[in-house]
Each structure stands twice: as structure tokens, then as C-alpha cells.
Structure 1
Amino acid sequence: MQRGFWTFVVGALAALFANLAQAQVVIIDHGAPIIRPPVVSRPTPPPSVYKVRTVDMNVTVKDQIATVQFSQVFQNVSSQVLEAQLLFPMPENAAVSQLTLLVDGKELVGKLMKKDEARAIYESIVRQRKDPALLEYLGQGLFQTSVFPVPPQAERKVEIRYQQLLRSESGVTDLLLPIGTHKHAHHPIESMNINVRIETTEPLKAVYSPTHTIDLSRPDSTHAVSKLTLNHVSNPDDFRLLFGTERGAVGMSVLSYRPKDSEDGFFLMLASPDVRPDAKPLPKTCVFVIDRSGSMTGQKFEQARGALKFLIQQLRPEDNFNVVVYDSAVESFRPELQRADEATIKAALGFADGLYAGGSTNIDGALQTSLNQLTDPKRPNYVLFLTDGIPTVGELNEQRIAAKAKEANKVNARVFNFGVGFDVNSRLLDRLSRDHRGQSVYVRPNENIEASVSALYRKIGSPVLTDIAINVEFDAVIPAATTPLISRTYPRQLTDLFQGEQLVWVGRYRQAGTAKVTLTGVAADEKKTFSFPAAFVAKSNDETFGFVEKLWATRRVGEIIDELDLRGHNQELVDELVRLSIQHGIMTPYTSFLADENVRLADSSNAARASGVARRELEKVDGAAGFEQRSFKGQLQNAQNAPAGGAGGGLPSVAKSATGRPNQASTATRPRPGSPFDPTAPSDDKALPAESNLRQVGQKSFFRKNNQWQDSTVSDEQAKKAIRIRLFSREYFDLAAKHAALAKYIAFDEPVLVNLGDTTYQIDPEEPEKS
């Protein structure tokens, strides 16, 4: 009987193999030596001989020691007996101990090969299968197990257990888990669960994932639990989690990345308050503003009522509050602010139960009534404003409404908006959010209003430090500096720091070296100051913190769109938007035409075309088009992490809710597939979907042009001088060995034009075999 043959490798799946019923999974080296769990790759042919049922990773981290338990259940769905073999690339100097590999509870034996012997195996597989994926592992050792059979329709459970010393750099400890191994599996993975428990000796401050939106709980100052659950997963990225420790009421971690010393670098600051179960949040004032116009009738209003009752019940006795409801007229629960005592809370809940929907929409009147009630600037003041429509009564001009609200806000209150459905004036809500240092959350028709409102309030319900400001003072200053040493920081306006949350602040830096970072804020009417040492690297040696650049670019694109939307056309900003879209593969509704294979990236008309699309689309202030593009804009501005790579990249991994945690309204932050504001959709009938012509690989963006993949950094002049190398030739393998850390950029099975270091290479198809 002929049997298929699978090969498992500890690491990230990067390739599919034709011509053999054998498959190989490979890893991507992210700089830190790690051991990768075994994963089943997609065999070809046949294309569907196995299916991964579940993937579970349970990790316990004690300071820098990680204990990993990985398990995966897969099924042979073919009619043949298949054999499986496990290959583990072993990174050089990997600080790993107690590695145990089991299949259905039985430990497998194997052979450990040094890097020279392993390199021959890697090259042999690449040559035989005509697939370049394993090139990334030249220079690494290899652990190869014995072969075990998998009967037809049978399931096997693969487990690996190991301990590892995690790398610590720039004040953060770095955990990397390889769920990206399944990136090209033929079938979606039914379920994937990653649980990480962190315990530290020193107080734990920042806990941050640059790759995924995690559900994070922090029971006390030295423990945290991160959970990630994914269902029907087709294209996961490797999971990465960073955490830092520091004594004091506030901790800060500063990460910097500078790929070119001739250009400004990129930094990310994570500011986190101390976590104490007995900590008392600052007393605050909240005004809840609810639209009860006729368009809110039915389930929509019942959900809004539920959201209002939730907000009222979350108030603490020391808080002040009021409720404002509006249709054609404006009505308040009480004429003035109330203390949230037991009797008043009960009365407010009764007021909510008695509300009904009907009438027009007096947005201006509601804003004036709510803001004029706020009179104490010493307390944190928040307005939560919900509407499902456009102003139809009172002041109708959006700019005058915004100007009047700005004038009425005497206490620097934060305004958080909820736009419900496609009929809202989304540009007005964004204008209010920007003017009052808040945020706009958009809830699609038939999505749960209560889930979105409660998610946001859980974030802002417990302020610990308000009116935050950050200053960076370098130890050695550039003489006669004419431009700021720190610039283009996002979020553009810093707000408050909340219990259980952290500030994620990104920007550019001109000067390298050590510095003192000072964070100031107000707590209980007292100014607080916290200082931290930081280092800004002169030039990065690798791409360990490359995600910082991508996150900055993502937020910068969102900020550019916001400027064009609220302040009008600016050609310099459009030019920058086009440049960032090309460089980082961030396709927006206004630049998705760049992924058309027939559009030259260096075409001088690209900016004019983007300008025309932006002018036309940003005029739409309501309807599905207005909703989609401002929801997408907010998604970019509030991105907590950036894409790690993969085909069709460019859309950031963003918080699925106001807190960065998944909830029932998570799709409110995502453009509707196929809409004009889906970044993977064409901007006109002639353009092609971005996802088919754009790939993110590490720090590079590759566009499909002229039947090949082109590195976006390659200029026309560089392309003319490119060194031509045949795929799978001796020169090809030597190039991969020479640029081991960059080998992933030539691991294409199609022609590719790429810059490696200071040289441009054209990788051509291999010569056809002579008959």
C-alpha cells in the first residue's frame, strides 16, 4: 500500500509542497531563540488528507522562566495510512531545558543534528520539493524524530513540554509562541486557545501583545492572566507577549526601533498604573446622554435602556452623575448633578424604565444641557453621548454644533460618542471626540448597543491619573537643534490613565541616546510626577522591535485621514498617505488602487488619484459610506498592535472594543466586507482586491507587479541594476546563507524583486529542465 508522508517541524508554517504526498512545516526566527511546537502542514497531493481539530497552549511564566505545554489534535481524513515525522529546528544557543515530545502519551526518540548536517537536509528538501520555505533555517541545528503511523480517519494528539529562559531587553521580557505554524493549513483550525499566566517577583506593570488583542485580567500587583481564544482559524500570526516590572505607582517601558540611522527612529511607550485590589479610583462625574428619538423605537431603544441602567449601576457612592435624554426636546433626570447614593441610584433606574422613544433629534440641545451641568474642573468629568441619527431640530450645522460644544466645555470633560446604525452624522461625532479628547465607537445595525457601551465604561470607570503629559529630556542634546527631538506622537492628545489599563503611546525620535522620561498627571487635585530612564537606539541590529514602526505607521495613517476629514484637503498629507500605504502596505479606501497589478508604485499620478478619491468619499457624512470610513479611521487611530505579516496585509490588528477586549459588538470596528471602505476592496471597478496582490513579510511590503512580487522599497533605478539569481541555484542558497536573518524575504516560490542590505536582487524562476 502506498502511504502518504507528513513531516512536522517545530515552527511557523510557511510553505505548501506540490508533487509529493509529503509536507514540511518551517519556522520564522524572530530573533529570540525559541522552541516551536509541532504542527501538521498541508500535504499536496492530496490536498485534504488531514485536519487540525484543536490547538491548546498553556504557559506559566515565573519572572523569565516560561514553562510551556502545547497540545494539538489532528485527524487523518484520508483513506490511506499516513506516516508522520517531527522535525524541530534548534536555534543556536537556545536556552531550553526539559524538552519532552509525546504522541498519544508516548515519548518519541530522535536524533539531534548540528547546524552543518542540518543545513544539508534543509537544502535537500528545498531542492526536492521546489519550495523555498526552509531557507530561513539555514544555520540552525535540527532534532528529527522517528516515524509513526496514522490510520485512516484516526486522530492523534501531539504534545510538547519544555522550559525556556525568556529574553529580556529594554526593560521588557519577551514571550513568543508559534501559532503561525498553521498559517497555510488546508482546513481552518476548529479552535485555538492560548492561556498565559505571569507571576513576577517585582510589581508587574506593562503587559502588552504587539500581535493580538488579548483578554487580560490582573488580580494583584504581581500576577496577570492573558487569554486568547480563536475559532475557525485560517491565517493566525505568531503570538507575542511583552511584560515589564517596576516598583512605584506607575511603571513605564520604552521600546525603540531605528532601521536607518540617517532617518528618525520609532518609539513605543507603555505606561501602566500599579494594580492593587484595595486601590480606590478617583471620584468622577458622569453625564449619560441618550437619544430617544423616533428612529430609536423597538429593540434598539430597549438595548439603549439596558446600557443606561448598566452605567447607572456601575457608579460608586462618591461619584456624581445625571441622565439627559433627548428627542425634539431635552429632559434631565434631575435639574443638577446628583451624588450616586443608594436612593438616587434606585430613582435613576426607575427614570430609565419610564423612558420611551419618539420625536426628532436635538443633538445641539442635548450637548449644551449635559456640558453646562459640569462645573467642577478638579474631578474627572465624562460625557457618554449616544445617538442614531443626524440633527433635525435646533442647530443643524455640524461645525457650529461642535464649536458651541467646545465653548460650553469649561471643565475639560472627555466626550465619548456612540454612533448607532448607518444614519448617524459620523463626521460630527468624530469632530466632538477630537475636540474633547474622547473616542467614537460605531455600532452596526442589529449589533448589541449594551455590549459596546459597557465595554467602554469598564475602561473609563476607574481613573487613577488625569490630564496626563509626557516629556522626554535627553542626557546629551544635539547642538542648535532646529526641530523637535520627539515628534509625531499618537494618540495626538493624551487623556487619562485608568485602573487595569495602560497607555500605548508611539512617536518618532531624532536623537539617539539615554534620556529621562517624565510623566505628569493629576490625582485628587494634586499634581503627580513620575520619572523613568530610557534609551533610544542609534541603529537597530535586527527586527525584534520592528512592530513599533508598523504600529506608528498605522496610527499615522489614521491621523492623516482624520485631518483630511475634519480640516479639509491638504496635498502634502495625501502625498504622505500614498507613501505610507506603499511602504507599509496599509491599504485605505483612498489608496487601495495601489494594489492593482497595472499601477506602478512610482507613478507620479498616484497622489492625484488618491486625492480625488478622498475628496469625493469624505464628503459623505452619514449613511453606510460615512459610517464605514470613519469606523475604519478610528480603527487605525486606536490600533493597539500592528500586523505581523501574511498575505493581504495592511489591515491592523486593533482593539475589538473600547477596552481592547473582544465583545459582541466587535465587528463595529471592522469595515463591511466588499464595502467601499473595506481596505481589501477595490476603489473602482478596474482595481483588483488588495489581498490578492499584497503580502506583508516581516518589515517589508510586497506588491504583485508585472507577474512578480516587488519589494515596495525598490526604486526604478535599483530595479535596473538588480543582480539576477535563479531560484534554487547554488547562488540562491549562498544568498540565503549570507543573509540568514533576511532569508524570509526571498522565500517566494514566484519571481521576486527585493532589497537585501544595500543590494537589489531579482530572483528569477529556475531554468526549465532539458528534455
Structure 2
Amino acid sequence: MNLRSAIAFSGLLTRIPVRPPGSGRRWGILAVVLFGLLVPALAQAQVLIIEQHRRIVLPRPNPRPTPVPSAYCIRSVDVQAAIKDQAAKVQISQVFRNTGSATLEAQFMFPMPENVAISGLTLLVDGRELAGRLLKKDEARHIYEEIVRRQRDPALLEYMGQGMFQTSVFPIPAQAERTVEIRYTQLLKKENGLIDFLLPIGSTKHSNKPVETLNVTVRVEAGDQIKTVYSPTHQLEIQRPDNSHALCKMSLRDAYSPDDFRLLYGTVNGLVGMNVISYRPSESEDGYFVLLASPEVKSALAERVEKTMVFAFDKSGSMSGKKIEQAKEALKFLINQLKPGDTFNVIAYDSAVESFRPELQRADEATIKAALSFADGLYAGGSTNIDGALQTALKMLNDPKRPSYVLFMTDGLPTVGEMHELKIAANAKQANVVNARVFAFGVGFDVNSRLLDRLSGEHRGQSVYVRPNENIEAHVSNLYTKIGSPLLTDLAVNMEFDKVIPAGSASPISRTYPRRLTDLFQGEQLVWVGRYKYGGPVKVSLTGSVAGEHRTFTFPATLAERSPDETNGFVEKLWATRRIGEIIDELDLKGHNQELVDEMVHLSIRHGIITPYTAFLADERVNLADRESNVRRGLSLARSGLDKAEGKAGVEQRDYKARLKESASGPAGVPGMAMGGAMSAKKAGRGASKPADPESMRRLTAAKGQAAVTQNLEGEVEVLESVRNVGQKTYFRRGQQWQDSTVTPEQAKNAIRVTQYSPAYFELAAAHGGALAKYIAFDEPVLVNLGPKTYQIDPPPPEEGATDKPQDK
């Protein structure tokens, strides 16, 4: 019997029954080796049952049988890390449970990169320290290779080129729990002004059981002011009590496949801090960059910035009942947030348009009290005059030097006055003479979501959608908390290259997103991505208005001529995520375009970012090389989907588009769209469902990397088992094998054939210091490009005399 499953933070479990000496029973104590992860730059830990006497060879079925559930589960993983300057103290606590009926003998083995500065490594089981020994990379490689060869499981290949810390054996009795604590201190690296902390929690990528709770807490303290705080892997809750401290939290429930956790932070004194991260895998193509700009968290200057706020409030008949009460509370919250020196007004509209006062009011105790009384007196009734409300609000604004914002709320379609979408947008553009920012709130599904996106996009704001049964006040207060304190307005970024740019050449910086920069608010962070033509030193200038004064902030940066490894490969995927969001926005607002759809399909295939309009690519019958057919299908899906401006499908598509455009870390930064990030087994974003049948679960958990995730037109999140993201590559399952998305039909014909677990296979895994081993660590056939060559990795033939039953001596 071959039992295969996995447990969180301990990876893949293969269980082989063995017969201990002196026992007449066929089934005995099971010895296990747990391969844990302690240090940065590690991915999955492994659990392998090893023989006590002699190995029982198991034939390799094709297809593989449905696995028997594991005798292990993980109750929880809790990580506490404290970073002061560049020193990190880390404690990882894991609660394992033996759900089987036999005692398990466990041994931890920790892969350790040669270039990571780890000290004070301690492992405790139920509070008692466990002895261990450190193995150099050459000795460790023989152990990794032997386990892979013996177990016929390639998951350990990625540790080739790393050392190992090996502990002594400890028992886990049947039905018992063991709390395993790992403690270590690490000196963190600093590059491009950013301190880099990588935490290994990605050990459940082969698990068919979720981690019940996974919590990460990182406390950062620095002598200088902390500016940039950024994770390219996860969405974080970040608390900034002052300029020298940051508290970062991440929590997952029932998580199947979390990515390793990475945190980057930068320190610099002054009003604004800025960092640039670049990635260029090939000198023959433009590179990718992300610019991170962060203002002071606590700045006296922010209190001096006086702004104008106009609140346009829908009180039409459809707002009656609970909605009008929530909206009134939201409006009163906004009024109470006004600061001395701010000017404001309140517009309430139904068929007609009513103003709190005929003109803007200066915020003080008396005007705020009167405005609150005005809000309390509003009631629902009448139709919806969107055009009239917008023009009234925008025409009140008359000072172009003052930061001005319109918060516009509606729960319906325009039914009075101008009702044509494009004409309403044109009227608003004409009325906005001071370049005010417009933030649009759509309440419920009966809104024209395309109109709201058009308004917020043309006026450098944002659309927020409040679904039925969601609290209006919570959404409004969440947005205002972000935008309530503008610090730097009318932003512009310039990059000045040391290299001489030939006269008449195109700009060395291109395809930057967002296209139009928004204001920089206190406590917020600008994330700006783009492509670059020339590597080397650059001078980056960020300009804007601070309290009415024009200011320029200049920082040095270096763009990679060619990246030595894939450490910053996330920048490429982040750029692709935002570019796809921009493409969808253009298709939505400017009409259907075959060239844009062609690019969207190409990016989806290359980066595994599957949209509602390219979801057909996950179908194993689709030929990825049939460009014409794929573009035709994508164009048809985009047309039928984006033509829906109203209803649930309209709102969900615009919300999805916004999440792509605003993503701070690629798919991992899109709520509900990252299998290893914000997604859990029970809930992924909105409407997710987990695969239930055993074969789906086997394919989802046994394959390498992260399963792609998409969203359909109704907002339901779907896990795509046939698309996997591994490092910088995307694999599609076609037939009985995994295919690298960059392999062309001609390359496939001339692929070099390598048999899995053969000497040539292990030589390939060890090449380049083991950096490419993860790309062939599949337990099924795989077609892949590695450097200039293409390889077809085939499974080995079943071993002679193999049996899947326990054998007695």
C-alpha cells in the first residue's frame, strides 16, 4: 500500500509499511523523516517514511492511484519575528498531530543555503531541546539525491546546492500532538536601500490538508525613520505607531498552499522615502522596475495641508430603509473628519439637487454641527439625477491650488436629466476646472459600474463597490482613512540616466502604471511599475505640491543590466498583472480591440494570470500555439462580458479590473486571486469553492508550484488545477504532462529527452547551483525550457519485481 499525502510546514508524506524485528505482525512502527524549513530562501519541507530494514519497491502507476489520507495533520503555525535594524530574531511554533494508530518516529532535516547568515539555531519539541548536526552542501546533496531516487519523488530537488541541519529522532505517539519550536537569529541583507526578510511558510504546497491557522507577526524597529514597508508575496495588515516602528501581520485560515513570506523595508530620514527594485532576465529585452515611495507616517506638515471636500449623496427612493440609514451614518462620519482649515459642502440629490449651503463652507464647530443636522434630516424619495449632482458638486470648486476631492455616492442608474453615459462623463470633465479627484461609491448591483469607472478614472480617483448586505459606512470610512491627509499632490516622476541617450530615441522608460499618478497620502505608499531600456545608475526625481509649495525629492537608484537570479522576479509578474488590468480597462472604456486582446492572451499564457476572458486557456484541449483561435475566443468573451455595465456581473468585473490595476504585488496582491496568498481552502475572495473529489485534490496538491486562480463574470473564484506557476515559469497541463508556456512547437520537436531519476536528470538538477531544479521537480512528465535548451523529462519504467504490497523477509 502506498499512502501519499501532506501536512502543512512539512510537505509531502510518503508512507511505507515496515516490519520491525521480533514482531510477527506485518504492520509495525512507522519511522518518519520530517524535512522542516527554518531559513530564508527555502520552499517546501518534506516528510518521508524511511525503511527500518529493507526497502519495498513500489511500481509507478500511471495514472497514479487516489491517495489514502495522511496520518498527519497540522493544527497551527505561529511565527513571531522581531527585526531591529538588520538583525531578525525568529520563532516558529508548529503543532503537529499524529492522527494514525501507530507511533511515528520523527526526524527533522533542515536545508540551509550557504549564503545565509544564521546563528543560534535551536529546535525544541514540547519545550525540550533536540540535538542535531550541520552538514555541508556536498554531504547534504548526497542525502537529498538518495531520498529523491529511493522515494521516486522529485520534491527535494530544489535543495540541491544547500547545506542541511539534521536532528535526532523523537516519537509522536498515536493520536498525540507535538509542539515543535524553531528559534534562530539572522543577519538580513540590504540591497537598493531595502532590508530583505524571507520567512519559510511555503511548506504546504504539496498538502492535501489545509493548515487550520497560520499567523505571522513581524515587528520592525529602526534607528532611522521607516518609510517603505512592502511585501511582494502577501497582503499585510500594517500598523505604524510612529516613524521608527512597524507592526506587520498576516493571517490565513484553512490555507492550502501559502507562499513563503517576504518583507522588504527601507529606512531614511526626511519627508519622503523612495526605493527602486528592478529585474531584467535578458539583455535582449527591456527590464522591469517598481518604484516605491512613502511619506512620513507622522508628519506635522500633513496637518498644515488644507483641502476641499464635497460629498454628493444619493437620497433617491431606491435608497430607502437600511441603506439610507447607513449612508447617513457614513456622511456624518465624513463630516466629523474635517479638519480646521478645510472647506466643504454636502450635495443631496434625487430628482432634484439640494445643497447644504449655496457655497463652500469653512470647517469649524458651527458649520460641522449644522452639516450633521442637515444629514440627519435627509430621507429617501424620488428619481436619480446623477448628471445634475456631479455638475453642482464640481462647479463649487474654484481654487486650483487647493487639493479638492468629490466623494460621489449612488445606488442606481441615471433616471432624470442627462442619462447617456458618455455625455454625463463629458459634462463632468468640462465642469472640473480645478482638476479635482472624484471617488465614486456604487451601492448595490443596480448601478452603471462602467460609468462610475469612467468618472473615477478620468478624474484620478477610485471606484468603490458596496455589495448588497455590506455596510456602507465601513467602506466609506476605510477609503477616507486613506485619503483624509494628502501630503504630496499633483505627482510626477522622472528618471535621469547616466548613460547618454541617442538623439531622437524613444523614452528609455515606457508602459508605466498607473498611467496617471494619484496623490500621495500620509500613511499610504505609491507603487509605480514600468519597463526600462537601459541599465545602470539613474537619478529618480519625485515632484509634487506640499502645502501649496512645489517640491522635488531626488534619490539615486540602479537598474539591473541583467539580473543574476530570480530574487526580484516578482517585479515582472507585478508589471504583467497591472498591464492586464490596464488592457481590460481600455477594452471596457474605449471599445474592443483585437491587438489588445492578443496581448492579454499572450500575457496570460506567459505569466499564468488567467482572467475571465482567458479562462479557456486552462482547458487541456486548447492549443496554446493557436494564436488566431485564442485571440478570437478572448475577444468574444471580453465583448460579451464587458458589455454588461449593470447588475452583479457588471460590478464584479469592474471590481476585478480595479484589483488588477491596483495590485501591489502581482496576483498575490489581488484579494482572492492568489492560491498561496490571500486564499484559503474554504474561502477565496468571494464565492470560492474548494475542489472536493479525490482526483482533483490529488492533482491540485501533487503538482509543483501554485495553482492559478481566476474569477468568472459573477465574481466566483475558481482554482485552475491545470495551470501552475513555479518561480518565473507557468506550466499548462496538456495530455499527461506539464508544458512550460514558453516552449514553442518547434522546440518541443527537438527537445532533449531525459529520464527521471537517471544520472542525467540529477546532473540537470544540480546545474547552476541547483537554481533551476524547481523547474523539473514534477512527478509527472514535463516539457521545459532551461536556458537555451529544451528538455522532455520522462518518467522511468516500473522497476522489475516491484510490488505494491508489503513483503516479509
What TM-score results when the alignment is normalised by the length of structure 1? 0.92
* Structure 1 partner of 2:567: 544
CA distance in 2, matches of 1:25, 1:321: 63
Q: Deviations over 1:68-112 (max 9, x none)?
A: 111122222223222221111121132111111111110000122
* Structure 1 partner of 2:590: 567
* Structure 2 partner of 1:770: 800
* Structure 1 partner of 2:437: 414
Which amino acid counterpart does residue 82 of structure 2 have in structure 1?
Answer: T
SS of residue in 2 equivalent to 1:280:
helix
Which amino acid counterpart does residue 474 of structure 1 have in structure 2?
Answer: F
CA distance in 1, matches of 2:614, 2:460: 28
**Does residue 715 of the first structure (1) align with residue 765 of the second (2)?**
no
**Does residue 128 of the first structure (1) align with residue 150 of the second (2)?**
yes
**Does residue 81 of the first structure (1) align with residue 110 of the second (2)?**
no
Residue 66 of structure 1 deviates from its aligned partner by 0.6
**Does residue 582 of the first structure (1) align with residue 605 of the second (2)?**
yes
SS of residue in 2 equivalent to 1:187:
coil
**Corresponding residue to 1:196 among 218, 241, 257:** 218
Instruction: Please say which of residues 270-279 and 369-378 is displaced more in the overlay.
Output: 270-279
CA distance in 1, matches of 2:82, 2:238: 15
**Does residue 34 of the first structure (1) align with residue 52 of the second (2)?**
no
Identify if the C-alpha distance between structure 1 residues 288 and 76 changes in structure 2 by more than 3 Å, giving closer, same or farther: same
CA distance in 2, matches of 1:82, 1:6: 15
CA distance in 2, matches of 1:39, 1:28: 6
Give the conservation status (yes or no) of the 8 Å contact 2:72–2:97: yes
Q: Deviations over 1:302-327 (max 9, x none)?
A: 22222112111111122111111211
* Structure 1 partner of 2:159: 137
Give the conservation status (yes or no) of the 8 Å contact 2:96–2:178: yes
Instruction: Please say which of residues 472-481 and 171-180 is displaced more in the overlay.
Output: 472-481
* Structure 2 partner of 1:289: 312
SS of residue in 1 equivalent to 2:733:
strand
Give the conservation status (yes or no) of the 8 Å contact 1:38–1:160: no
**Corresponding residue to 2:302 among 280, 301, 317:** 280
**Does residue 436 of the first structure (1) align with residue 438 of the second (2)?**
no
Identify if the C-alpha distance between structure 1 residues 551 and 618 changes in structure 2 by more than 3 Å, giving closer, same or farther: same
Which amino acid counterpart does residue 17 of structure 1 have in structure 2?
Answer: T
Give the conservation status (yes or no) of the 8 Å contact 1:55–1:191: yes
Give the conservation status (yes or no) of the 8 Å contact 2:668–2:674: no
**Does residue 217 of the first structure (1) align with residue 239 of the second (2)?**
yes
Residue 703 of structure 1 deviates from its aligned partner by 0.6
* Structure 2 partner of 1:698: 727
Residue 343 of structure 1 deviates from its aligned partner by 2.0
Which amino acid counterpart does residue 628 of structure 1 have in structure 2?
Answer: E
Residue 153 of structure 1 deviates from its aligned partner by 2.4
Identify if the C-alpha distance between structure 1 residues 19 and 579 changes in structure 2 by more than 3 Å, giving closer, same or farther: farther
Give the conservation status (yes or no) of the 8 Å contact 1:643–1:652: no
Identify if the C-alpha distance between structure 1 residues 23 and 305 changes in structure 2 by more than 3 Å, giving closer, same or farther: farther
* Structure 1 partner of 2:185: 163
* Structure 2 partner of 1:99: 121
* Structure 2 partner of 1:641: 665
Residue 679 of structure 1 deviates from its aligned partner by 6.1
Give the conservation status (yes or no) of the 8 Å contact 2:306–2:342: yes
Identify if the C-alpha distance between structure 1 residues 160 and 650 changes in structure 2 by more than 3 Å, giving closer, same or farther: closer
Which amino acid counterpart does residue 400 of structure 1 have in structure 2?
Answer: K
Which amino acid counterpart does residue 720 of structure 2 have in structure 1?
Answer: E
* Structure 1 partner of 2:334: 311
Residue 415 of structure 1 deviates from its aligned partner by 0.5
Identify if the C-alpha distance between structure 1 residues 600 and 751 changes in structure 2 by more than 3 Å, giving closer, same or farther: same
Alignment of 1:109-124 (within 5 A): 109-124=131-146
Which amino acid counterpart does residue 128 of structure 1 have in structure 2?
Answer: R
Residue 184 of structure 1 deviates from its aligned partner by 3.5
Q: Deviations over 1:547-573 (max 9, x none)?
A: 000000000000001011111122211
CA distance in 2, matches of 1:430, 1:6: 46
Residue 37 of structure 1 deviates from its aligned partner by 11
CA distance in 2, matches of 1:218, 1:385: 29
CA distance in 1, matches of 2:299, 2:541: 26
Which amino acid counterpart does residue 535 of structure 1 have in structure 2?
Answer: T
Give the conservation status (yes or no) of the 8 Å contact 2:34–2:106: no
Residue 38 of structure 1 deviates from its aligned partner by 10
CA distance in 2, matches of 1:128, 1:694: 28
**Does residue 180 of the first structure (1) align with residue 186 of the second (2)?**
no
* Structure 1 partner of 2:27: none
SS of residue in 1 equivalent to 2:637:
helix
CA distance in 2, matches of 1:14, 1:75: 14
CA distance in 2, matches of 1:46, 1:446: 42
Which amino acid counterpart does residue 533 of structure 2 have in structure 1?
Answer: R
Q: Deviations over 1:454-475 (max 9, x none)?
A: 1111110011110000011101
Identify if the C-alpha distance between structure 1 residues 370 and 523 changes in structure 2 by more than 3 Å, giving closer, same or farther: same
* Structure 1 partner of 2:254: 232
* Structure 2 partner of 1:618: 642
CA distance in 2, matches of 1:727, 1:306: 64
CA distance in 1, matches of 2:31, 2:661: 44
Query: Unaligned regions of 5+ residues in structure 1, if any?
Result: 657-666
**Corresponding residue to 1:516 among 526, 529, 539:** 539
**% identical equivalent positions:** 62
**Does residue 56 of the first structure (1) align with residue 85 of the second (2)?**
no
Q: Deviations over 1:172-197 (max 9, x none)?
A: 11001112123333432222221111
**Does residue 754 of the first structure (1) align with residue 784 of the second (2)?**
yes
Which amino acid counterpart does residue 122 of structure 2 have in structure 1?
Answer: T
Q: Deviations over 1:596-619 (max 9, x none)?
A: 101111103111221122122211
CA distance in 2, matches of 1:631, 1:689: 16
Residue 27 of structure 1 deviates from its aligned partner by 7.8
SS of residue in 2 equivalent to 1:127:
helix
* Structure 2 partner of 1:680: 710
CA distance in 2, matches of 1:367, 1:62: 50
**Corresponding residue to 1:726 among 755, 760, 766:** 755
* Structure 2 partner of 1:352: 375
Give the conservation status (yes or no) of the 8 Å contact 1:287–1:383: yes
Residue 649 of structure 1 deviates from its aligned partner by 7.4
Which amino acid counterpart does residue 776 of structure 2 have in structure 1?
Answer: I
Give the conservation status (yes or no) of the 8 Å contact 1:751–1:764: yes
Residue 770 of structure 1 deviates from its aligned partner by 3.1
Which amino acid counterpart does residue 107 of structure 2 have in structure 1?
Answer: Q
Which amino acid counterpart does residue 387 of structure 2 have in structure 1?
Answer: D
Q: Deviations over 1:585-643 (max 9, x none)?
A: 11111111111101111103111221122122211111112111111111100101124
**Does residue 147 of the first structure (1) align with residue 203 of the second (2)?**
no
Instruction: Please say which of residues 318-327 and 11-20 is displaced more in the overlay.
Output: 11-20
Which amino acid counterpart does residue 116 of structure 1 have in structure 2?
Answer: D
* Structure 2 partner of 1:664: none
Identify if the C-alpha distance between structure 1 residues 16 and 332 changes in structure 2 by more than 3 Å, giving closer, same or farther: farther
Identify if the C-alpha distance between structure 1 residues 255 and 144 changes in structure 2 by more than 3 Å, giving closer, same or farther: same
Residue 231 of structure 1 deviates from its aligned partner by 2.1
What TM-score results when the alignment is normalised by the length of structure 2? 0.87
* Structure 2 partner of 1:736: 765
Residue 6 of structure 1 deviates from its aligned partner by 11
**C-alpha RMSD of matched pairs (Å):** 2.9
Which amino acid counterpart does residue 196 of structure 2 have in structure 1?
Answer: D
* Structure 1 partner of 2:702: none
CA distance in 2, matches of 1:671, 1:86: 38
Identify if the C-alpha distance between structure 1 residues 26 and 702 changes in structure 2 by more than 3 Å, giving closer, same or farther: farther
SS of residue in 1 equivalent to 2:406:
strand
SS of residue in 2 equivalent to 1:691:
strand
Give the conservation status (yes or no) of the 8 Å contact 2:11–2:207: no
**Does residue 207 of the first structure (1) align with residue 237 of the second (2)?**
no
